[in-house]
Amino acid sequence: MRTFLLSMVLVVLASCGAARVNYDYDDQTDFTSYATYNYFSDMETGLSELDEKRLMDALDATLGEKGFMFAEEPDMFINIKSTVYRDQASGSNVGVGLGGGNRGIGGGVSIGIPVGGPKMTRQLQIDFVDSNKDMLIWQAISESPFREGDTPQEKSEKLQAVVDKIFSKYPPQ
């Protein structure tokens, strides 16, 4: 019983920092016909140069594992967009109040004190575009926690985890 409770706590804690991914794709596309890829040359990812390299390394490794090859004249192009934003639902407050009353007369004062800093979220969008038809065929949009102060190793690990999650359902069934 104790092991079960401990494992449940670990699962809950691990899921708190996990990426959420939404997928969309053209259901008329035969995804088995795609074997090569490349990136759009004019891609503006919204990432720093170092994070862009980390992400592309993670993508290259994952796509290689799935049997894709990098090519100058590919079957599909990849576009990447990333934004970081403050999560509006993350505000935690502690309330402090004063109150009093006598003979049917009352009053009170209450203030909220913010606890912790703002929570940041990185949204990462990956598009696959058919190079012959110039048509979007697959898209994944992930949202995951983001911290500016992560070490380079932590950034690489987090980006790889997001890429693994994104491609866990590729190709679509």
Structural contact between residues 55 and 65, judged by C-beta atoms closer than 8 angstroms:
no
Structural contact between residues 121 and 146, judged by C-beta atoms closer than 8 angstroms:
yes
Domains of the chain with CATH codes: 20-169 (3.30.160.670)
Instruction: Say if residue 9's pLDDT is above 90.
Output: no
Residues 6+ apart with CB under 8 A from 54: 152, 155, 156, 159
Look up the pTM and report it: 0.73
pLDDT band at 6 (very low <50, low <70, confident <90, very high): very low
- How far apart are alpha carbons 138 and 66 in whole angstroms? 15
- How far apart are alpha carbons 112 and 3 in whole angstroms? 39
- How far apart are alpha carbons 35 and 40 in whole angstroms? 17
Tens-digit pLDDT profile for residues 77-92 = 999 999 998 876 545 5
Can you list the alpha helix ranges (DSSP code H) found in the chain?
Answer: 2-16, 49-65, 152-166
**Closest by alpha carbon to 122, among 91, 93, 163, 92?**
163
pLDDT at residue 11, rounded to an integer: 39
Instruction: Say if residue 113's pLDDT is above 90.
Output: no
User: Any idea what the Cα angle at residue 49 is, between residues 43 and 55, rounded to 5°?
Assistant: 75
